Amino acid sequence: MNSLPLYHYQSYVAGFSGWLRTLGYAPDTCRKYPRQLREFLHFLEETGIVDLSSVDGAVVECFFTYLQSRPSIKTGKSLSTTHLLSMQKTLRQFTRYLDALGLPGFALPRLRLQGLAAQSLEVFSQAEIDGLYAACGTDFYGLRDQALLALGYGCGLRRAEVSQLEVSDLHFKKGWLEVKAGKGAKARSVPMPT
């Protein structure tokens, strides 16, 4: 999707990408959201819409109808539920970006993505969790890995959140840790497992 040409909206993609980085979004998000935005903006240009003030709910619905009929570049099958929901998030963030800059934006309609079943999450069993801890070992590195597991799994942290923790973020006496770079650049306090 990065190769889709843009003639009228190129500066929006670059600005949106920089805005996400400034807010501290994860590197994967800073790559994915602008790429998905590029597909939306390319769709607008292909349909003759060269001004965001012309975008309304009907246009956005047409875009999602198009997505539901477009095959995946990787698999050749229909796009996944996850991809379509991610595209919704991208457009929601893009409207926030426009609003933050005081630029005219567009309203997103409440979309019902037809034919999409909710995907269930796979959760580790207690035996699988015990196996992960047992695999760590008891030497220095094993204890370090156990601590990382406890922080990640026990506190429900994302991979990027664990990697950005500092020792000063751990408050042992109070029994909580401070996540300064959470999803959406939001900080939060999390109780530590005992």
Average pLDDT for the chain: 85
Do 97 and 130 reside in the same domain of the chain?
Answer: no
Overall number of domains in the chain: 2
Do 186 and 147 reside in the same domain of the chain?
Answer: yes
**Residue at a domain's end among 45, 66, 101:** 101
Task: Please indicate, yes or no, if residue 44 is contained in any of the structural domains.
Answer: yes
Task: Please indicate, yes or no, if residue 149 is contained in any of the structural domains.
Answer: yes
CA dihedral 178, 188, 32, 14 (to 10 degrees): -90
Of 105, 88, 108, whose CA–CA distance to 51 is shortest? 105
Task: Please indicate, yes or no, if residue 119 is contained in any of the structural domains.
Answer: no
Do 95 and 136 reside in the same domain of the chain?
Answer: no
CB 90 within 8 A of CB 40: yes
- The 10s digit of each residue's pLDDT in 151-180 is 888 888 888 888 888 888 888 888 888 888
Do 13 and 94 reside in the same domain of the chain?
Answer: yes
**pLDDT at 26 (0 to 100):** 82
Do 40 and 88 reside in the same domain of the chain?
Answer: yes
Do 73 and 133 reside in the same domain of the chain?
Answer: no
Do 85 and 21 reside in the same domain of the chain?
Answer: yes
Of 11, 16, 9, 14, whose CA–CA distance to 98 is shortest? 16
Do 89 and 131 reside in the same domain of the chain?
Answer: no
CB 133 within 8 A of CB 144: no
**pLDDT at 73 (0 to 100):** 83
Q: What percent of the chain has pLDDT over 90?
A: 34
Do 97 and 38 reside in the same domain of the chain?
Answer: yes
Do 79 and 142 reside in the same domain of the chain?
Answer: no
**Residue at a domain's end among 35, 67, 101:** 101
Q: Residue 45: pLDDT above 90?
A: yes
Task: Please indicate, yes or no, if residue 4 is contained in any of the structural domains.
Answer: no
Task: Please indicate, yes or no, if residue 121 is contained in any of the structural domains.
Answer: no
**pLDDT at 118 (0 to 100):** 52
CA-to-CA dists, residue 143 to 26, 65, 148, 158, angstroms: 27, 51, 9, 20
**pLDDT at 113 (0 to 100):** 61
Structure tokens given for 110: 């409440």
Do 15 and 96 reside in the same domain of the chain?
Answer: yes
Distance of CA 132 to the CA centre of its chain: 27
Task: Please indicate, yes or no, if residue 86 is contained in any of the structural domains.
Answer: yes
Task: Please indicate, yes or no, if residue 1 is contained in any of the structural domains.
Answer: no
Do 49 and 97 reside in the same domain of the chain?
Answer: yes
Please name every residue paired with 103 in a beta bridge, in sequence order, or none if there are none.
none
Q: Give residue 190's pLDDT band: very low, low, confident or very high (50, 70, 90).
A: confident
CB 120 within 8 A of CB 103: no
**pLDDT at 143 (0 to 100):** 93
Q: Residue 5: pLDDT above 90?
A: no
Q: What percent of the chain has pLDDT over 70?
A: 89
Q: Residue 120: pLDDT above 90?
A: no
**pLDDT at 183 (0 to 100):** 64
Q: Give residue 121's pLDDT band: very low, low, confident or very high (50, 70, 90).
A: low
- Structural domain span for residue 153: 126-191
Task: Indicate whether this model's pTM tops 0.85.
Answer: no
- The 10s digit of each residue's pLDDT in 130-153 is 998 999 989 999 999 988 888 888
CB 145 within 8 A of CB 136: yes
